Amino acid sequence: MKINLGPLTRIEGHLNVETTVENNKIVDAQCMGEMFRGFEVFLQGRNPLDAQQITQRICGVCPYAHAIASSYAQERAYNLKVPPNGRIMHNLIQGANHLYDYLLQFYQLAALDFVDVTSILQYKGKDADLLTLKNWVQAELASGKAYPAAPFLPRLSGKYVNNADLNIGALKHYIESMEIQKKANEAAAIFGGKFPHSTSIFPGGCTQNAKIDLIASYQSLINEVRNFYHNKYIPDVLAIAKAFPEYWNIGASKGGFLSYGLLPLSPEQNSKKVFSSGVLTDGEISPVNFELITEDVKHAMYSSPSGLKVRDSTLTPSPKKSGAYSWIKAPRYQGHMVEVGSAARILVDYHQGNNATVKQLVQKFAAQAGIPPSKINSVLGRYLSRAICGAVIADFLLDESERIDLKGPTIADIKIPSSGEGFGATEASRGALLHYIRIKDQKIDRYECVVPTTWNASPRDDNDQPGAMESALIGTNVKDPEDQIEAIRIVHSFDPCIACAVH
Ligand code: NFE
């Protein structure tokens, strides 16, 4: 039996998922990106310095990652020598964005897959926010509508946390987390100019000045965010894990893992990073080589050639192409399907063993949950990975902000060459993000973005191998094929963003 899971809510953009269920098991799954955008097409012919501004408009959630990837690519193409302050400010802006995004993902987009929002009806206290929520849920439930409004409702039927106090506590954090997200965004805007789309990130650094009062304000905001991670976010993730231990065994993707590494420790392009880069296949780590990435379109709605390398990629939309079911391409690493994102970031770093804190946190939480670290590849593993990433990033940002040299420049002199090319790779919150720019006559000749959700929500490739999310769905047991809460929990754990995936 084929079931369409749409409309999918609490994700970004237009994603549809269709599963085929036999004997209460998903035996097939198709992820469908249902819109076309074309950023790479309309970037052609423009001034290259437009790129880090325009590509930020791919998304309102992870714009800084696009600006950073674009800046790295242009730094290569222009052969820029980035001053230390420039790279530090890039890190301060991008790191704060990760802190915002993990909070948004867990509390607003995913927690209500587990937390029972209807427990709020039992709330007897005086907290104004919780009373507003209570009235709202009451009215929605009383409305008799078949589909009460998002974001809190509708709910799929299944097991939820059944302790009213725990649910109400989590809902309180749901509301508080929005204030904390605001603080993370304010911190990013101190150096980034504004949120969501930064005006100050450029190849070679940042147009903001190095000033002591800016650093002090940044630190004070990040410190509050850090405290929320330690006192609320991490305990909430662990509480969900304790209540739903079966989700360590649900939603594993069935390929490798890719991370480009995050937060460089020095301005050079080949710098060591807080989170290491690497490709993890069959338990073996190898260095990332962009030349081994290809983009298949056999099942994507493009008539341009399939299997091209990133620098050769082209884009000819073909909405009626036979056998195609998605506007998302299928990137592959040396032909392998890989998962990207927080779990990939943690697994790749854990296997490299370069970051002692990551290693220690993974081991600590894995021991508490009674699971081996390999179970990071699961629904709960993706949530735990975001919590660990957030804790590590918050500490790093507080230290990194101390390294700003108040007398040093914050940006390199930019001179656009008549020709050149460059790759720029970073980790957006949702995973490995690559931009490629080629310049001819001081204009953009070709631009290509290979984006996290393009990897994770990809359709079948030229060899008919499923994408990471499809593979995670296939094999899952579902209690009620008509109401697949297990499948929705798997999809949400990837935090798909279709605006990014299609771009
Ligand atoms: Ni639109 Fe994005 C992130 C990027 S996901 S959210 O994180 O790049 O594909």
- Write the secondary structure of 30-74 as one string of H (helix), E (strand) and C (coil): EEEECCCCCHHHHCCCCCHHHHHHHHHHHCCCCHHHHHHHHHHHH
Ligand 1 lined by 69 (C-beta under 6 Å): no
- Please determine, for residue 331, whether its predicted confidence score (pLDDT) is greater than 80: yes
Question: What confidence score (pLDDT) does residue 278 get?
Answer: 98
Degrees to nearest 5, angle at CA 97 with 94 and 100 = 160
Would the pLDDT of 148 be above 80? Answer: no
Is the Cβ atom of 12 under 6 angstroms away from ligand 1?
yes
Distance 499 CA to ligand 1 centre (A): 8
Q: Which helix (H) or strand (E) holds 265?
A: none
Q: How far is the CA of 186 from the centre of ligand 1 (A)?
A: 20
Residue 155: the pLDDT is: 73
pLDDT band at 472 (very low <50, low <70, confident <90, very high): very high
Q: Residues near 453 by Cβ (< 8 Å), separated by ≥ 6?
A: 328, 430, 431, 494, 496, 497, 498, 500, 501
Tell me: pLDDT of 146 over 90. no
Residues 34-81: tens digit of each pLDDT: 999 999 999 999 999 999 999 999 999 999 999 999 999 999 999 999
Q: Is residue 430 within 6 Å of ligand 1 at its C-beta?
A: yes
Alpha carbons 7 and 449: distance in angstroms, whole number = 27
Average pLDDT estimate for 89-104:
98
Tokens of 23: 């004997």
pLDDT tier at 404, thresholds 50, 70, 90:
very high
Residue percentage of the chain with pLDDT more than 70: 99
Among left, alpha and beta (phi > 0; psi -120 to 50; other), residue 335 is left
The arithmetic mean of pLDDT across residues 218-243, rounded, is 97
| Residue 74 CA, ligand 1 centroid: distance in Å | 20
Q: How far is the CA of 219 from the centre of ligand 1 (A)?
A: 26
422-438 pLDDT tens trace: 999 999 999 999 999 99
Whether residue 500 has its Cβ less than 6 Å from ligand 1: yes
Q: Which atom of ligand 1 is nearest to 69's Cα?
A: 8
Tell me, what's the pLDDT at 141?
Answer: 85
Residue 451 in contact with ligand 1 by CB distance below 6 A? yes
pLDDT of residue 150 exceeding 80, the answer is no
497 lines ligand 1 (CB under 6 A): yes
For the chain, give the mean pLDDT. 96
Our answer on whether the CB atom of 11 is closer than 6 Å to any ligand 1 atom is no
Average pLDDT over residues 237-263: 97
Average pLDDT of the segment spanning 454-470: 98
Find out if CATH 1.10.645.10 is the number for domain 2-142+156-501. yes
Residue 358 has pLDDT above 90, yes or no: yes
Residue range 158-176: mean pLDDT, rounded: 95
Average pLDDT over residues 77-86: 98
The residue-averaged pLDDT of 267-283 equals: 95
59-68, 156-165, 411-420, 460-469, range with the lowest pLDDT: 156-165
Show the tokens assigned to 109. 């987009």
Does position 157 have pLDDT exceeding 90, yes or no?
no
Asked whether 15 lines ligand 1 (CB < 6 A), one says no
Ligand 1 atom, smallest distance to 12 CA: 1
Distance of CA 121 from the midpoint of ligand 1 (Å): 35
* Alpha carbon of 345 to ligand 1 centroid (Å): 14
Given the CA of residue 13, which atom of ligand 1 is nearest to it? 1
d(CA 226, CA 237): 15
Whole-prediction pTM:
0.97
Instruction: Let me know: does 95 contact 229? Beta carbons within 8 Å.
Output: no
As given in the structure block, the two tokens for residue 89 are 């400010």
pLDDT reported for residue 154: 67
428 lines ligand 1 (CB under 6 A): yes
Whose tokens are 């994102």? That residue is 341
